[in-house]
Amino acid sequence: MKGRFMTSSTQPTALRPPRLRLLALLASAAVLGGCASFSPDGGFSAVEKTARERLGKDLQWARTEADQDRIGQRVAELLAKPLTMDDAVQVALLNNRGLQATYAELGITEAEVVQAGRLPNPGFSFGRLTRGSEVEYERGLHFNLARLIALPFIGQMEARRFEQVKSMVAMQVLSLAADTRKAWVNALAAEEAVRYMRQVKATADASSELARRMEQVGNFNKLQRAREQGFYADAALNLALAEQAQRSTRERLTRQLGAWGAQTQFSLPERLPDLPREALDLPDVERVALAQRLDVQGARLAAEQTARNLGLTRTTRFVNVLEMGFFRNSSNEAPTQRGWEIGVELPLFDWGGARVARAEAVYMQALHRAAETAVNARSEVREAYTGYRSAYDIARHHRDEIVPLRQRIAEENQLRYNGMLIGVFELLADARSQITSVNAAIQAKRDFWIAQADLDMALIGKPSLNAAAGPAMAAEAAGAGH
């Protein structure tokens, strides 16, 4: 729909009522177009609120060099001490450049929302026609009436899309926090595994050297010496694998933190956090997840927006078949012409049915997507919760049963060795077994904290349940070598 107003300066006339109404319409359009403006924070406050409520962490959007300097100072303070799990999450939320790039989606979308709320600039045309000695001048002012009529609907649609982008950015924040927790757990567990594998290697060095000397004096045969040498070779290989795992998991954590240069020299605590005294009891875990998961809320909003868009399609299916305008022509040899016109397209071939059918199909698609999201959310949170409970039970069994039992066995063997009832090789073999059990307990504790991160994410968003256990467990390798 397009409005036109044409006039000539050669023969001015008084404004007539149609032109007054037209100018009033233009004034209202200018007012409506001026209402669209940028928000002070670009929609970032909604994302900050999500981070505070669900993570208890701060966010900063680095839009200027001063913002980046403040972030750098805060990150330096956090990295100056051994990096805890919570501090690692905070560093990632501040320093990860990929997340900062995601924040830019807010600015891009808000600019599109503001642009959609503003009318196109009016146009002006000038024409000069001659017919013999007759000269005719024509001036025209034209503007888009269809955009004015649809402006409220377009504004609502764009505002809902902006809300979806805010939810998407908030989900990226939560996902980065969960991935950082898992990367921190893997890196710290790998460092602990390296320390214990070095103990295994030292034990293997001692037993191998002792076996070599005993063979030299004739107290060991070649088979006994080969067995001890084989254990030493396995221990050396397993230590190399554990060190590679430590380097790999640390680099993964470094990428999550967005660290570079001197920032990569951060240190980690000596050991993983202890298990909680009791596991979480969540009998209504599905209901909680459906009530607060952002992906479920986003799917619901998408279905609602599609439904509103369908209503808009039905009511505006004939918007483009009407054109109206006002004109005033003047000539040096004829009276001034004034009038108005309406042009109507005859809907013989396109009644808008295809657009309506498409909108209905898109709406049904959105409904099924929303249902799929809810069904998957139920399954994912059940899987995360059962994995969490199993990991807790396994880690507690290692802590309360296996490790203390190995410790008691080691103490008894030490007494037997002091009484000369067993030899040094039996004592070394028991020491290797005890170290292996401690290493397995470390891996079980690591799996629990990863399961905890998966459960936390499953309650607020779509988790990545592909267990983030890093490279081959050193404990398993050590057990195979033993």
Give the predicted TM-score (pTM) of the model: 0.74
List the domains of the chain with CATH numbers.
Answer: 2-481 (1.20.1600.10)
Count of other CB atoms within 10 angstroms of residue 280: 13
CA distance 434 to 406: 6
Count of other CB atoms within 10 angstroms of residue 393: 13
Residue for token digits 């030899």?
423
Burial 397-406 (b: 16+ CB within 10 A, else e): ebeeeebeeb
3-state secondary structure 137-155: EEEEEEEEHHHHHHHHHHH
Helix (H, G, I), strand (E, B) or coil at 211: helix
Count of other CB atoms within 10 angstroms of residue 372: 11
Q: Residue 22: its pLDDT value, please? A: 52
- Alpha carbon 389 to chain centroid, angstroms: 26
Specify whether the CB–CB gap between 58 and 90 falls below 8 A. yes
The string of pLDDT tens digits covering residues 117-154 is 777 777 777 777 777 777 777 777 766 666 676 677 77
Specify whether the CB–CB gap between 374 and 290 falls below 8 A. yes
Confidence of residue 352 (pLDDT cuts 50, 70, 90): low
Q: Kind of pairing, strands 123-131 and 322-331?
A: unpaired
The string of pLDDT tens digits covering residues 70-105 is 999 999 999 999 999 999 999 999 999 999 999 988
Most confident of 63-77, 153-167, 358-372, 455-469: 63-77
What is the mean pLDDT of the segment spanning 426-448? 82
Amino acid code (one letter) for 111: A
Q: Residue 258: its pLDDT value, please? A: 93
